[in-house]
Structure 1
Amino acid sequence: MSSATRTFDPVELEILWQSLISTVNEQARALQRAAFSPIVREAGDLANAVFDRRGRMVAQAVTGTPGHINSLALGAAAMLEEYPVDSLVPGDVLITNDPYKTAGQLLDVTVLVPAWRTPAAGSKPRLIALFGSTIHHTDVGGYGIGAGGRDCFEEGLWIPICKLMAGDGSGGSERNGDVWKFILSNVRQPDHMAGDLHAQMASGEVGAQRLATLCDTHGLDDIEDLADEIIERSEAATRATIRELDAGTHDASAVLDLADGSTVDIVCSMTVDPDAGEIIVDYEGSSDASPWGINVVRNYTHAYTTFTVRSVLNPDIPNNHGSLAPIRMRAPEGSVVHAVPPQPGTARHVVGMFLPNALLKALAQVKPDGAMAEGAGAVWTMQINGHHEDGSPFITAMFTYAGGVGARASKPGLDACSYPTGVSAVPIEVVEASAPVRFLRKALRPGSGGAGAQPGGLGQVIEFEVDTARPWQLNAVTSRLTEPPQGIFGGEPGASGSFQVNGEPVTTQTRITLQPGDSVRLELPGGGGYGEPGVPGDGEDRGLLATR
């Protein structure tokens, strides 16, 4: 590697940046094509990113969820603390699902694939980058999907930071046999687990190959100078955006209700410091950790905090180590937004995806035209398992449904859209093909969006049953069944949700056993309205859309 620092003119930098984005996007496409799990393949429940030697996220794929991507940004650094880059050799691959160091639940497995480059003939390969991926696996043993686990040990297999593959000393790679045995012996679908792990490794290799081509094309020995330039520019642009705001502290809160009637208070205080070019979000006063598996680890809280702030202030700035640095977050240990071992968190998305509802209220005091009314919050997740008539088992991968999004200053809320997570719904045909599930209805929910100058988005209605002669089990994670999504600036609330079996409300957070012929009905919440009904909002005249 040359000791001289390379500089880039604006045109060259833009070309290299777009090439880097194309590289991680191809990594993500390779992962989706190779994945076994429908929630990855069909819904995009994943994250892909490239990191420099210092463990700093340089670029992320467009496909993916904020919770995964921004947690991966911190998780990769934790993995490199355990295995510093200078200790790695060609062929090594790192793995973990440590929920407190990565994305907050054991089902999310992170794999880190180093990229190597030999600058000159006869020289040793040098690690120039790492390609990381986090995906939602079908199963990791234990309780499974849902909020019923009472500690992290009940929830499933914990994979510490370790080598999934080990270099053989000659540039090749060998399985870390004991690690593979432990993993595959503790999951219900070992073929799915193995297939998805291979998909993660293969996608990392695709990224490494494309990065080598980028370096060859542009005469780079490594990406250190390029990473510095991208990260420094992103940080400077983010700080400049914050410096345009008035100094001050803005308080907000939101209440999340759960199926069992309990509630979670999210309290945030957002301080704008233009002199430092920083925003500090403090969640002091939020609820203590729950006995149910809805607790959020610090990484995941940080992920949705930074996503929300950046999406309002300047979403066009690249998402990387630099643009995340000016947004600082505090959360009291042992609270529902900063879980510590062994507090459970398999269903941490219920709270994590709800966080923007509180933070957006604080941001509305700073930038009203960039704010939103409350939306449905977290997607509702389902997993079904049971036995066919011949006794053979079946289990679905997790499938999700979204409610309405809160209205914006100049646009109505989106209907049945997964905000803030961004995952797609697994098509009902895919679910029906994987298990004897029969969908009876899937439609928008008229009247569920809150009225306003801009109306909230509509929720949806789903009905299904399972075609089996034996009892079957449903793991469902729902929310907002009594507390509706609130409007903003005079907008009215959207409709709350409903979760019923045979017409009767379900009031439990745990797995339930159902009988042949039982029917499940889901009515997802609608988004809140923006502005007073009948008062024209900014932008186009919405006409009949003013009420939904």
Structure 2
Amino acid sequence: MLKSVAAVVSSESTKFGEGDSVIIKEEDYMDDGSVIRLKLTIIPEKGEAVFDFSGTSPEVYGNWNAPEAVTAAAVIYCLRCLVDVDIPLNQGCLAPVRIYIPKGSFLSPSDKAAVVGGNVLTSQRITDVVLTAFQACACSQGCMNNLTFGDDTFGYYETIGGGSGAGPSWDGTSGVQCHMTNTRMTDPEIFEQRYPVVLHRFGLRGNSGGAGLHRGGDGLVREIEFRRPVVVSILSERRVHAPRGLKGGNDGARGVNYLITKDKRLVYLGGKNTINVEAGDILQILTPGGGGWGAL
């Protein structure tokens, strides 16, 4: 399998001959500044690869620490995308692959760490790091845009799509769940019927994909008015560090979360927050676009 993977490595990376190895270094940052570092070593002669995450930041105080299984799942996903072979999804995928994750990092946290965001946020950044190392495509929205709201009588949870990164022969896709998530949205009619909300807007966020020879996909705009007081939580990324373009392509637009109060004040919520909203308040979520590929 890894012989096929080696073939997709950019010609700008270290060239290899018989018995030689390809070594690629890549990194990306979470919005709090925590870094994911990857040293990827491919050994074509043996069809093996080593994913070494040494140098990744320590466990974080927040909830986006990721158990080791999340990193393994992201690596498997990327390899299956890169290889033009129908590979069954099982542990055998990793037989020729070694993954090293330093203990105590936020990719291998202690059993006291909060990890709810590891699968829904950090997994997306791991995917971006791996695919960028292979120069396979630009970064995606890098986030699942997790939204919850409710009170003592009900709870609602959804993830919101965004833009995917462009590649060497394709534009990114707009308004989709990409990479490590594939959940569907609640139909607007059901959403408004079952919950105390009015959906004012749900559509593409124009020109949020990075420009380039191939353009990144656009993110989404979602505006929800609440008809009674509830508690709202947003757990999102790519609000500080934009999805990167590749080969001269522009970065995608960063995401933004706002509260529009019933007296028309516009309040920036940041990427992660929990707030009490009143009847008439509107939550506006603009999800990130994907990075572009290639200079125009």
Q: Return the TM-score normalized by structure 1.
A: 0.49
2:217 to 431, 434, 457: 457
Partner of 2:111: 341
User: Separation in 1 of the partners of 2:79 and 2:294?
Assistant: 21
Counterpart of 2:160, as a letter, is Y
Check if 1:512 corresponds to 2:275. Answer: yes
Identity of aligned residues (%): 27
Counterpart of 2:147, as a letter, is M
Partner of 1:478: 236
User: Separation in 2 of the partners of 1:330 and 1:519?
Assistant: 44
User: Separation in 1 of the partners of 2:233 and 2:279?
Assistant: 16
Deviation at 1:483, TM superposition (A): 1.7
Is the 1:255–1:264 contact (alpha carbons within 8 Å) kept by the matching residues of 2? yes
Taking the TM superposition and a 5 Å limit, the aligned residue runs for 1:249-288 are: 249-257=23-31, 262-288=32-58
CA gap 1:329/1:429 in 2 versus in 1, 3 angstroms: farther
3-state SS of the aligned residue for 1:500? strand
Deviation at 1:501, TM superposition (A): 0.5
Deviation at 1:431, TM superposition (A): 2.9
Deviation at 1:495, TM superposition (A): 0.8
Stretches of structure 2 that go unaligned for 5 or more consecutive residues are 10-15, 261-265
Partner of 1:400: 159
User: Separation in 1 of the partners of 2:247 and 2:143?
Assistant: 23
1:428 to 188, 192, 202: 188
Deviation at 1:487, TM superposition (A): 0.6
User: Separation in 2 of the partners of 1:315 and 1:345?
Assistant: 33
2:137 to 364, 372, 375: 372
User: Separation in 2 of the partners of 1:476 and 1:294?
Assistant: 13
CA gap 1:483/1:253 in 2 versus in 1, 3 angstroms: same
Partner of 1:321: 91
Partner of 1:229: none
Counterpart of 1:252, as a letter, is E
2:129 to 333, 336, 358: 358
Deviation at 1:399, TM superposition (A): 0.7
User: Separation in 2 of the partners of 1:363 and 1:242?
Assistant: 9
CA gap 1:377/1:294 in 2 versus in 1, 3 angstroms: same
Counterpart of 2:183, as a letter, is V
Partner of 2:200: 440
CA gap 1:493/1:243 in 2 versus in 1, 3 angstroms: closer
CA gap 1:314/1:446 in 2 versus in 1, 3 angstroms: same
CA gap 1:311/1:279 in 2 versus in 1, 3 angstroms: same
Larger Rg: 1
Check if 1:523 corresponds to 2:286. Answer: yes
Deviation at 1:448, TM superposition (A): 0.4
Partner of 1:65: none
Is the 1:400–1:426 contact (alpha carbons within 8 Å) kept by the matching residues of 2? no
CA gap 1:263/1:428 in 2 versus in 1, 3 angstroms: farther
Is the 2:140–2:164 contact (alpha carbons within 8 Å) kept by the matching residues of 1? yes
Counterpart of 1:448, as a letter, is S
1:332 to 102, 124, 127: 102
Counterpart of 1:476, as a letter, is I
Taking the TM superposition and a 5 Å limit, the aligned residue runs for 1:44-59 are: none
User: Separation in 2 of the partners of 1:508 and 1:363?
Assistant: 28
Check if 1:413 corresponds to 2:176. Answer: no
User: Separation in 2 of the partners of 1:505 and 1:309?
Assistant: 38
Counterpart of 1:359, as a letter, is V
CA gap 1:418/1:333 in 2 versus in 1, 3 angstroms: same
User: Separation in 1 of the partners of 2:251 and 2:2?
Assistant: 34
Deviation at 1:239, TM superposition (A): 4.6
Deviation at 1:326, TM superposition (A): 1.6
Partner of 1:491: 249
Deviation at 1:316, TM superposition (A): 2.5
Deviation at 1:282, TM superposition (A): 0.9
Counterpart of 1:332, as a letter, is P
3-state SS of the aligned residue for 1:285? coil
Structure that is richer in helix per residue: 1
User: Separation in 1 of the partners of 2:243 and 2:6?
Assistant: 32
User: Separation in 2 of the partners of 1:522 and 1:510?
Assistant: 13
Stretches of structure 1 that go unaligned for 5 or more consecutive residues are 1-237, 365-370, 388-392, 534-548
Is the 1:306–1:327 contact (alpha carbons within 8 Å) kept by the matching residues of 2? no
3-state SS of the aligned residue for 1:309? helix
Deviations 1:123-173 (A, max 9, x none): xxxxxxxxxxxxxxxxxxxxxxxxxxxxxxxxxxxxxxxxxxxxxxxxxxx
Q: Return the TM-score normalized by structure 2.
A: 0.88
3-state SS of the aligned residue for 1:347? helix
Counterpart of 2:295, as a letter, is E
Deviation at 1:438, TM superposition (A): 1.4
User: Separation in 1 of the partners of 2:271 and 2:208?
Assistant: 24
Deviation at 1:248, TM superposition (A): 1.3
CA gap 1:473/1:313 in 2 versus in 1, 3 angstroms: same
Partner of 1:311: 81
CA gap 1:361/1:381 in 2 versus in 1, 3 angstroms: same
1:297 to 46, 63, 67: 67
Is the 1:395–1:435 contact (alpha carbons within 8 Å) kept by the matching residues of 2? no
User: Separation in 2 of the partners of 1:443 and 1:242?
Assistant: 36
Deviation at 1:240, TM superposition (A): 4.7
Is the 1:248–1:272 contact (alpha carbons within 8 Å) kept by the matching residues of 2? yes
User: Separation in 1 of the partners of 2:78 and 2:193?
Assistant: 36
Partner of 2:12: none
User: Separation in 2 of the partners of 1:297 and 1:458?
Assistant: 30
Deviations 1:276-306 (A, max 9, x none): 3111111111111111111100011110012
RMSD: 1.7
Which is bigger in relative contact order (C-alpha 8 A, separation at least 6)?
2
2:149 to 384, 388, 395: 384
